[in-house]
Homo-oligomer: A and B are copies of this chain.
């Protein structure tokens, strides 16, 4: 039970784009080269970010991806949900057959709330709130506090810092 590496890829790519600063779209190949990632696979993650409204994509030559909004307006939750989907962390497997499979609840309310589900749901809500409370700008600021020279390594190509 762990988050996929797509989250890490997305966070770093978004930070890279922010560090670049200018509004120029950056192609997948370049973004992937920075961290030696698979361009094709990274592209799939970026498409997810586009769908979620975190990135804008520019097709055609000189195209690529650019930030759709500033880092201040992107929370860690946005990134996680964009990449991993918004399925619940805990999903009941109906081992007690008490979920009344097939029965449609009146759109929004559950007739028989499951205590296990609600308990796990409360915990997930706390997780999501904590993620939502942290923006990518916060993460960037915290990162720069420890390694001020961390910017501009996209331009340099393959810098390790």
Contacts and interface: CB of A to CB of B under 8 A. Distances in A.
Interface residues of A, number: 54
A116 interface: yes
Interface string A13-34: 0000000000000000000000
A116 B120 CA distance: 25
B1 A2 contact: yes
Interface string A147-161: 100000000000011
Given A98-B160, A112-B146, A140-B115, A123 B76 contact: yes
Interface of A: 1-5, 7-9, 11-12, 35-37, 76, 84, 87-93, 95-98, 112-116, 118-120, 122-131, 134, 138-140, 142-143, 146-147, 160-161
